[in-house]
Structure formats: C-alpha cells, structure tokens
Structure 1
Amino acid sequence: MNDRKAAEMPAGHDETPRFGVNYVPSKHWWYSWLEWDATSILEDLRAIAGLGMDHIRVHLLWPVFQPDPSVVSAVALKRLRELLDLADHPDVSLDVSVSVLDGWLSGFTFLPAWLSGRNMITDSDAVCAELLLLDTLAAHIGDHRRFLGFDLGNELSVPNGEVPAERGDQWASLLLDHCERIAPGRFHVNGIDNQPWFETRTFTPQAAATQGSASVLHAYPYWTGAIKRYGTDGTGVLHLGEYMAELAEAFSPVRGRPKWLQEFGASPVERPADSIPQWAASFVRNTLSSSGMWGCTWWGSHDIDRRFSGFVEYEYDLGLLTVDNEIKPTGARLRDLIKELRDAPVRPATRPVALVLPDSRKLGLQVADRFFALVDDGVRPALVTSGRADDPAHLSARGITELVHF
C-alpha cells in the first residue's frame, strides 16, 4: 500500500483500510517549519513506519508559508518538499496528506497578520490569496510520489463559526474543485471537526458528505462531550466513530462513499492512561464496521515536548511515541492491531434497521443517544435522512428493511 498507485487510490473502501497518524514533530512541534531539523524528522518518520503506518497528515503554519497575501515563503516550500523526500526514504515509505490553511491547531489559532479584519471564507481578497498558496504548493509538490493530496485546513469551523454554513459550503466547493484542477487524481478533503456534522456549523453535513474525495470524521470522546455523557467505557464512547461514519453515510448520495477517520485519540486527562490502548483498539474496530472506511489516522504521532509551556494539558500526551521515539502502550497496541486487521479485516456490519434522523440542524449526542441504545440492544443500526426514508430504491440499495422513528 506504499507505492504511487496507493497514494492515488481514493476509493480505498474496497481495499484494506489505511492506517496513519497526524504527524507531530518530536523536537520542535510544528515550529519545525522555522526550527528545521531533517535528522530528527527522519528519525520520527522511521518510528512511525515502525508502527505499521502507511500515511501521515502534516500541518502547515499558514503565517509561515504565506507571510504576505502575494508571497509564499521559498524556504518553507523547500522544507515541505524535503519532508516529502524524507517520507519517501526506503526505511519510511509514508504517503503525506498536506493540511494547508492552519489555522486552528492544537488549541491555537494561527492566522497571517495580513488576514486581520478579514474573514478567510467570505473575503474575496483572502480567497485569492488562498488560491495562490494552493497553486504554489501544487507547483512544488504536486508531482511528488508521496503527495497524497491537500486538506484545506484543520477544523476550520472553529475560527469561522460565525460564517453561514451555506457560504462555507460554497467556499469549500470552490477550493476543493481548484485542488482537483491543480493536482488531479489526488485525495483532497476538507478537514472538518465534529461541529458541521453535529451542529451544521460553518459547513453543512450535506456538503461534508459530498465534497472532496472523502467524508472527514474527527471523533473525540472528550471534545464532543461523549465521555462526560456516557462514561469512559460507555457505548457512546466506544461507538462514537461508528455513529459519525453512519451519519456521513446517511447524507452521502453514493452508497459506500469513502470516509476518513482523520482524527481520533485520547489523553490521560480524560481517562486512566492504562485504559487508552484497549479503548483505541475497540474504537477502531467499531468504526471499521461501517462500510466505506478509507482509513483511520490517530492524533498524534508523538507527545508534545514539555519544554513548550503554552499548550493545554490535554495536548501533551496524545502521542503513540514519546519525544525520544519510544513506543508507548497505545502505540504498541495499535501496531499489533494493524497487523491483525491487514490479515483479517473487519467486515462491515449488515444494517437492516435504520434510525430515521429528525429534521434538525443539530444531530449531535442528543440524537446519538437513540443510536447507542439500539447498539446496546444488539442492533447495529444505519441512519437515514427523513427525505430518503420514503424512497424504496434508496433503502433497498442500502439493505434497509426496517425503520425506527424518533
């Protein structure tokens, strides 16, 4: 799964799901774009590959890459190209998804100074600058054998929560279509968090389930409130990714559209550290029971070095590896799980019973409660929108024979 063909195969739901990590550089976090250390990055990537991963998601810092709306940093571009070269090292062989407009990252908002007073989604001059950045990136890395595709940015509904969702959808469509033109055939996505799915914030679930190469899922028991609502080992914590995957399936016009669990993870802040490995394994297996799963990508590869004092406590211990590249228990458990799943993949569950979603722009945990109650009753339900509940062809295509209404 690590050659050029694999990198260009977006419809991976007919293949073994892919496994990866959001790369967090061990020595300098993403300040690495300024404090460049190719030797330590190569050591990190070797350690990630040693876990059985086949891809990483990397994060640009927008102010570093585009300090002026009409200027893209040549030094930053060179370092990004070098990172892809390191990912292509024979000891590594990792494909690379590049998250561009970051934006919101690990609890900080990184926005260029020139964006002050403008909105990155609604301001036409800002959008022109974004297109220039994408064009320049594609010119420098678009031909690289390890370039998987562009991610517009990380969780952009967080700093853009006031933008009407319909406007956000138009912006995402414009940029994703542009990505396909400048880097055709690659795996381009919009890295949304749970809010567009749960609250129709900045983007609609309809757009999230149709735009780009895959529907993106960020499924954190902590940040969604699931762990507080259901307890550390509650059904809603173990099956949160599955619920979100079925939500994406419900809004997709195409059965089995690729879905990417782009971020998931757990911190000792939310649960005992020794319980994380088993939770992670169960969470992956449950999520993969939904059809069309392209892959699962943990946050993050490494812990954050505690010499950096500005992060909230939750962020420091999310890694599968320490800052010295030692494998943590969760890393070891996922490494073993990946071996198991490549030999014996999870078979998607048959879902003849479907829960009909209410006509609401809020589809969060108050709706998920009913889904998890059915799981507790031994049913692995599908979800269907109310507009499709009366469509026999749609229900038949998905194998749905029974509807459950709220």
Structure 2
Amino acid sequence: MPPAVRFGVNYTPSQGWFHHWLDFDLDPVRADLDSVAALGVDHIRVFPLWPYFQPNRTLIRDRAVAHLVELVDAAGERGLDVNVDGLQGHLSSFDYLPSWTRTWHRRNLFTDPEVIDGQATYLRTLAAALAGRPNFLGMTLGNEVNQFSAGPHPDPDRATADQIDAWLERMLAACEEGAPGRMHLHAEYDATWYQDDQPFTPGQAARQGAVTAVHSWVFNGTAQRHGRTSVPSEHHAAYLIELSKAWADAPHRPVWLQEVGAPAPLVPAEHAAAFTEATIANALDCPDLWGVTWWCSHDVSRALADFPELEYGLGLLTNDRRPKDTARVLARAAREARAGAHPAPAPRTTALAVPADPAARSACAPGGAVFGAFFRLVADGARPTTVLDTRAADTAHLAARGITEVVTPDQVLPTPHGPDGSPVRQGGTRS
C-alpha cells in the first residue's frame, strides 16, 4: 500500500502576519498551532523572511534562527511536521529581498557569485539548525522565486535556463549539506509550466529536488475564462499535478500540491467550501500525490494595509482562530486520509502529448491547445495525464507509467451530448 496522502497548511501567523519575526512571541504562535492541529492536519509550511534573518551577506541573526527552531519545536509538540521555506522572497504580492541585493548594491539573485555564496550559507545554516529535529521535513528553497527571474516582475533578475540549473543545484546541495537526507525541494508559481520565456523550466521542476511542487491558483485566467464551478477551475490543481509528470524522469516521482486556495472574488466566500471540496477530491484522484497543503492557515489582519483584497480572506481560520467551512472540508479530508478512506487511485491510462520544447509551454496555459484538450477529455469522462511529445512512442516509458493510449491536442475534439446530457462518442475523436 502506498503511504496516505498528507494534509497540511501554509502557516500564516494570526498576529502580525510574517512580520511577527520582528518581535517574535511564542505564546500566540502556540495558540495558532493549537488551532491548526485541531484540524487534524499533519504538517505546516513556514516562512522566515529573508531580510529579517540575513540583513547583511555575512550576518545571519542567531536570535532569528533560534526563534525558527522554537517554532518548529512547538509544532512538533502538537504532532505537526514542518517544511521551511528559505529565500523569502515573495509573499502575498510583497517582495522581501535583503538590501545587499538591491538599489546601490544591485546584484543578480541567480548569477552573482557573492550573492549565491550568501544564499547558500543562509540555507545551509537554517537546515543545519533544524537537522536534529525529528519533525523537520526539509527545506524549500523559497516561495515562488521564479517570479524574480522574468516578466511580469517590474525589475527582474534575468538569467538563462542553464544559469538557473546551476543555481538550483548549488542551493539544493547547500540544504543537503546542512540537513542530509531530508526532503529538500524548490517551488515555483505556474509560470514555470505556462510562460514561454521563463528560465525556470518544467524539466527543472520535475527532476531537481526530492519531489515536484506545484502551486495552483485559478486567478491565473482559469476562473476568469471558465467560471468557478467549471471543469477547468475545479480540476486545475489536478491538471498541474498531471502536467508535471510529463517532464519527470522517474515514472512515479511524488508530486506535492504545496499551495492551493480559494481566492475571492472569483471564488466567493459562500462558495469556497464547495470549491475546496472539489479541488481536493480531484487532486486525490492523481497517482503519486505526496500531499495537499492549503493556503493558508489564518486570515491576514485588516489592521495591515495594502494587501490585495483577496489575501485578507484566504485563511482556513479567522484572525481569532475560528474555523471556516473550508477548514471543516480540509479537516474531513485529513481525517479520512488517516483512516485509509482514500484508496490509491488507478493509473491514468490516457496521456495527452505536450510540447517538450519549453519555448512552447504556453500551449499548456489557460487558452492554450493542451489546456483546452485536457479539460475536454476530463469533461468527456476520461482521467488524462500528460507525456512529452518526444516520449509519445517510448513504449518502456509509457508502460512504466501505465499509459496505454496517447492522443494529441488536435485529436481531442469537443464531444457532442445527447438530449439527456450524456456524452455521445463519435469516431475519430481519438486515435
């Protein structure tokens, strides 16, 4: 039997948001973690803010690191494992980069040798501080750091895919040096899968690090085009999970749905629980899913200014730690996982061919040919996965993944429906 899918939350402190690191107080953190543990989840993901921890390239604040260790220990006391994001980086529309990389000290985050040395030292230090904690899962390099590497960021740190390869290898090695054998990974937002000029590529996401991480947000054009209750919106997370598998070399590489949430107003508050339930159910139908980690634990306080409106209500719990309907949905899924109520999904035997060329990955984005074909298959009752067009005739690769049929986007025609609404198959829709 494969291990049960893990359920967790991205921890957003109820008091002070991530600025709580400036005047860290363990008592409200403990209260937050009590409210998280009450949901029955088994892990959290936490976010040190990089400039607060490493304000100078050669100064990593001992007290800040000690506070992180205290948080991890408090989580362990409540039965929660912890993944730690290092290079924050970018959170909820705000950038947090140390002054030694900006303005008068402007240096490229991904290519400058001194910056890279400082980053590696920082990640190694955090990992080493936590290496002896049994509930420490491992490091994520940072939160969606690919947003710094290309547009639409207003001041990107440009790099080539080869330079990003080298950067990822160096950063992951630093984490491994600090905490050998833990689950170290990197995680990007969906431009990695959808944006043609992104130097962070699908191949890197699916091959480097211990697991593949995907972040699913339907405000990327999916809900705008199709609506909150559409097949694409309710299956978007599952689509990213299956899309990532096209680039993986290991046929059963684990995939972590590391971020997913119900963003208003595209998903109004009164419909958030239904969206959450559908998203989780569809993700659980994906083989090799490591876990689901919801964004986020607690709402952003209205006392804090200038956040995008959607950020204030994304929490599973309110600022006074009361669970919302979305929390109850996640808690039920976590409870069922512990009870073994989620059987391992069957292999997905139909694969949609996707372009191996990363310069053509926009075909996979909302509005693209691959995106449209995938969801036509889903609407037709299929359970598709994906395969690179360069592997579509590789019988050993297909067999290892349980794939028995490969189709191309132009073969997946809209399926007509009969008077009762059921699909009417016609010849020629697949070959």
Q: What is the TM-score with the length of structure 2 in the denominator?
A: 0.88
Q: How many residues align?
A: 391
Equivalence for 1:7? none
Q: Secondary structure at the match of 1:71?
A: coil
Separation of aligned partners in 1, 2:236 and 2:267: 16
Partner Cα separation in structure 1 for residue 405 and residue 381 of structure 2: 15
1:338 matches 2:334: yes
**How many Å separate the matches in 2 of 1:74 and 1:354?**
50
One of 181, 184, 197 as aligned partner of 1:185: 181
Whole-Å separation in 1 of the counterparts to 2:47 and 2:212 = 19
Structure 1 residue 226 displacement after superposition: 0.8
Residue 35 of structure 1: how far off its partner (Å):
2.1
CA distance in 2: counterparts of 1:335 and 1:234, whole angstroms: 24
1:204-248 per-residue CA deviation (whole Å, 9 max, x = no partner) reads 1011101111100000111x2110121111110011111111111
Measure how far apart 1:15 and its partner are. Answer: 0.4
Distance 1:242 1:346, change over 3 A: farther
Q: SS where residue 355 of structure 1 aligns?
A: strand
The equivalent position to 1:137 in structure 2, one of 116, 122, 126, is: 126
Alignment of 1:1-400 (within 5 A): 14-89=2-77, 92-116=78-102, 117-161=106-150, 162-199=158-195, 201-222=198-219, 224-343=220-339, 344-358=341-355, 359=357, 360-362=360-362, 363-365=364-366, 366=368, 367-400=370-403
Greater mean alpha carbon deviation, residues 40-49 or residues 389-398: 389-398
Structure 1 residues 269 and 314 mapped into 2: Cα distance closer, same or farther (>3 Å)? same
Cα contact 1:166–1:203 (8 A) shared by 2:
no
Letter in 2 for 1:369: G
Distance in 2 (CA, whole Å) between partners of 1:214 and 1:350 is 19
**CA contact 1:156–1:192 (8 Å) conserved in 2:** yes
For structure 2, the residue ranges without an aligned partner over 5 or more in a row are 151-157, 410-431
Choose 1 or 2 for highest CA Rg: 2
Q: What SS does the aligned partner of 1:305 have? A: coil
Instruction: Determine which structure has greater relative contact order: mean sequence separation of CA pairs < 8 Å that are 6+ residues apart, divided by chain length.
Output: 1
Indicate if the aligned counterparts of 2:39 and 2:330 stay in contact, CA closer than 8 A. Answer: yes
Which of 160-169 and 111-120 deviates more?
Answer: 160-169
For residues 6-49 of structure 1, the C-alpha deviation after alignment (integer angstroms, 9 at most, x for no partner) is xxxxxxx9200111010000011010101212111000001101
Paired residue secondary structure (1:303): coil
Q: Which shifted more, 336-345 or 370-379?
A: 336-345
Which sits farther off after the overlay, 356-365 or 389-398?
Answer: 356-365
2:239 aligned partner, one-letter code: Y
The answer for the alignment partner of 2:417 in structure 1 is none
Runs of 4+ deviating beyond 4 Å:
none
Indicate the SS of the match to 1:191.
Answer: coil
Instruction: Deviation per CA, 1:139-168: give whole Å up to 9, x if none.
Output: 322211221111100000112223223321
Separation in structure 2 between the aligned mates of residue 118 and residue 399 of structure 1, nearest angstrom: 47
More deviation, 350-359/296-305: 350-359
The letter for the 2-side match of 1:338 is A
In structure 1, what is the Cα distance between the partners aligned to 2:329 and 2:284? 17
Residue 381 of structure 1 and its aligned partner are, at CA, apart by 1.0
The AA in structure 2 aligned to 1:105 is L
Secondary structure of the corresponding residue to residue 218 of structure 2: coil
Q: Tell me, yes or no, if the aligned pair for 2:192 and 2:202 is still in contact at 8 Å.
A: yes
Matched position secondary structure for 2:109: coil
What CA distance in whole angstroms lies between the structure 2 residues aligned with 1:278 and 1:377?
22
Deviation sequence 1:169-220 (CA, Å, 0-9, x none): 2211221122123211111110211111112523110111011111000001
Alpha carbons 2:6, 2:334 under 8 Å: kept? no
Could you tell me which runs of 5 or more consecutive residues in structure 1 were left unpaired when the two chains were aligned. 1-12
Question: Displacement, 1:346?
Answer: 4.3
Using the TM superposition, name which of 176-185 and 377-386 deviates more.
176-185
Separation (CA, whole Å) in 2 of partners of 1:125 and 1:276? 45
- Cα pair 1:285 1:346 within 8 Å, conserved: no
> How far apart, in 2, do the equivalents of 1:242 and 1:386 lie?
20
Once the 2 structures are TM-superposed, how far is the Cα of residue 395 of structure 1 from its aligned partner?
1.3
SS in 1 for 2:83: strand
